[in-house]
């Protein structure tokens, strides 16, 4: 490592983003957080900026390995992996990448709703494996247009999802921590359970982290109509996964479509075998265009702090 580097980047960056980190910021790039402790002290001493891409917890112990640290720039809007209080205590600014990914994550939520309801995965397999050619029957799907969509957490992404589903003629229901200005006809609910009771598709768009841990509780899942589907594009931590699995196994709800789950990338084995569960590998923002914008915003945040300016998207 070049011990004069002011920027350290950690994570599996694409070749293009890796090159930009090196060209624009002179960064040294490590594959993962575990490699940080192995860097010699002289290489860590001058690091002022950390570009972080990953979900492994980044806390005070790691920050203390970088005594000159001024900014942790997270690649992603969700920064629940970073101990912001520990950063505050060390005078370290934390930044994230809001807005630039909201459309993609909302698009994926719509895709999950449609794929689950209309049996797209089973349908494609039916053609590929010759079931269609042999005249085998395929179960009917469920109509999405006009179904009630409940959004748990009407933030940036939640709002984008709601707008999309409103265009499908779906009545929009929501619960959010703070009051929202919404189009006429959208229905706010007092509690997550009340929202669940009025949702055919309950879409979770909360932040992750300790405060929302298990908010989709056994009680919330129990309030869902029997033919309802849970969609999660937020964080696995927001859902009581044992309660969800129990509800799915017992036919208490109709299904789940999850881009995020606990223990990624090795989810609970029961989720893999349950019918009516559609799992994706946390790909909400995974398009070429959006990932490039996220990486560029991450670099702009770092460049600003290194120049002594306020970064564009700080979280503390």
CB of 166 to ligand NAP, least distance (A): 17
Which of the residues 114 through 143 are near ligand NAP (CB under 6 A)? none
With binding defined as CB under 6 A, does residue 208 bind ligand NAP? yes
238-244 long-range CB contacts below 8 Å, 24 or more apart? 238/204, 238/206, 238/208, 238/212, 238/213, 238/214, 239/204, 239/214, 239/215, 240/214, 240/216, 241/268, 241/271, 243/217, 243/218, 244/216
Nearer to ligand NAP by Cβ, of 27 and 202: the residue is: 202
**Judged by CB under 6 A, which of 11, 155, 255, 311 binds ligand NAP?**
155
Span from 25-33, 52-60, 170-178, 306-314 in contact with ligand NAP (CB under 6 A): 170-178
Q: Is 264 a catalytic residue?
A: yes
With binding defined as CB under 6 A, does residue 97 bind ligand NAP? no
- Residue with token string 């790909």: 283
**Judged by CB under 6 A, which of 62, 74, 95, 234 binds ligand NAP?**
234
Which of the residues 257 through 296 are near ligand NAP (CB under 6 A)? 259-260, 282, 284-285
CB of 157 to ligand NAP, least distance (A): 3
Which one of the listed residues 235, 262, 291, 299 is annotated catalytic?
A: 235
Span from 23-31, 161-169, 229-237, 291-299 in contact with ligand NAP (CB under 6 A): 229-237
Q: Is 18 a catalytic residue?
A: no
Nearer to ligand NAP by Cβ, of 208 and 267: the residue is: 208
CB of 200 to ligand NAP, least distance (A): 20
Site string for ligand NAP, 50-89 (x = CB under 6 A): ---------------------------xx-----------
CB of 94 to ligand NAP, least distance (A): 13
Q: Is 156 a catalytic residue?
A: no
For residues 149 and 171, the answer to whether their CB atoms sit within 8 Å is yes
Span from 46-54, 95-103, 121-129, 289-297 in contact with ligand NAP (CB under 6 A): 95-103
With binding defined as CB under 6 A, does residue 150 bind ligand NAP? no
CA 236 to chain centre: 9
With binding defined as CB under 6 A, does residue 163 bind ligand NAP? no
CB of 217 to ligand NAP, least distance (A): 13
**Judged by CB under 6 A, which of 70, 116, 198, 235 binds ligand NAP?**
235
Task: State the DSSP string of the chain.
Answer: --TT-SEEEES---HHHHHHHHHHH--EEESSGGGGGGS-HHHHTT--EEEE---S-B-HHHHTT-TT--EEEESSS--TTB-HHHHHHTT-EEE---STTHHHHHHHHHHHHHHHHHTHHHHHHHHHTTTTTTT---------TT--EEEES-SHHHHHHHHHHHTTTPPEEEE-SS-----TT-EE-SSHHHHHHT-SEEEE----SGGGTT-B-HHHHHHS-TT-EEEE-S-GGGB-HHHHHHHHHTTSSSEEEES--TTTTS--HHHHHSTTEEE--S-TT-SHHHHHHHHHHHHHHHHHHHTTSPPSSB--
Which one of the listed residues 252, 282, 293, 300 is annotated catalytic?
A: 282
Q: Just list the catalytic residues.
A: 235, 264, 282
Note the residues at the interface with ligand NAP (CB under 6 A): 77-78, 98, 101-102, 105, 153-158, 176-178, 205-208, 211-212, 233-235, 259-260, 282, 284-285
């Amino acid at each position: 490592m070049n011990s004069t580097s002011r920027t350290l980047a950690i994570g599996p960056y694409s070749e293009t983003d890796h090159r930009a980190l090196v060209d624009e910021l002179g960064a040294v790039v490590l594959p993962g957080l575990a490699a940080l402790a192995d860097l010699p002290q002289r290489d860590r001493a001058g690091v002022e900026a950390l570009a972080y891409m990953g979900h492994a917890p980044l806390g005070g112990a790691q920050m203390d390995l970088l005594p000159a640290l001024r900014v942790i720039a997270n690649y992603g809007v969700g920064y629940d992996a970073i101990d912001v209080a520990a950063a505050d205590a060390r005078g370290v600014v934390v930044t994230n990448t809001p807005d630039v990914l909201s459309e993609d994550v909302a698009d994926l939520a719509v895709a999950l709703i449609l794929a689950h309801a209309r049996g797209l995965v089973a349908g494609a397999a039916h053609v590929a494996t010759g079931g269609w050619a042999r005249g085998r029957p395929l179960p009917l799907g469920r109509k999405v247009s006009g179904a009630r969509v409940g959004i748990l957490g009407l933030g940036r992404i939640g709002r984008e999802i709601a707008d999309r589903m409103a265009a499908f003629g779906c009545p929009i229901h929501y619960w959010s921590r703070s009051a929202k200005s919404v189009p006429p006809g959208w229905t706010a609910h007092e509690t997550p359970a009340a929202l669940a009771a009025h949702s055919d598709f309950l879409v979770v768009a909360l932040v992750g982290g300790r405060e929302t841990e298990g908010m989709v509780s056994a009680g919330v899942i129990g309030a869902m109509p029997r033919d309802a589907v849970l969609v999660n594009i937020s964080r696995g931590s927001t859902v009581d996964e044992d309660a969800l699995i129990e509800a799915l196994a017992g036919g208490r709800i109709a299904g789940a479509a999850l881009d995020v789950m606990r223990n990624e990338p090795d989810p609970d084995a029961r989720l893999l075998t349950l019918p009516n569960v559609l799992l994706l590998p946390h790909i909400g923002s995974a398009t070429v265009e959006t990932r490039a914008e996220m990486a560029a915003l991450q670099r702009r945040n770092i460049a600003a702090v290194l120049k002594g300016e306020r970064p564009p998207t700080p979280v503390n």
